[in-house]
Amino acid sequence: MMAFALGGCVPRIEIAPSTEPIVINMNVKIEHEIHIKVDKDVEKMLKTQSDIF
């Protein structure tokens, strides 16, 4: 009889979905810099032959 009385005291957890949509604000600004080191010979070639690219 005591087992039946305690059987009704079981903890219960409920998870209900939200009625409003989830909004993720992603205001992200990405900046990058690329630094290239070149030899003096290559730099001179690039200056004299600008039509290479």
Scanning 1-53, the segments in alpha helix (DSSP H) are: 2-7, 40-48
Q: What is the pLDDT of residue 49?
A: 79
Q: What is the pLDDT of residue 8?
A: 59
Query: Which string of b and e fits 16-44 if b means at least 16 CB within 10 Å?
Result: eeeeeeeeeeeeeeeeeeeeeeeeeeeee
For the segment 1-53, what is each residue's pLDDT rounded down to a tens digit? 555 555 556 677 888 888 888 888 888 888 877 777 778 887 788 788 777 66
Which two tokens mark 14? 């409920």
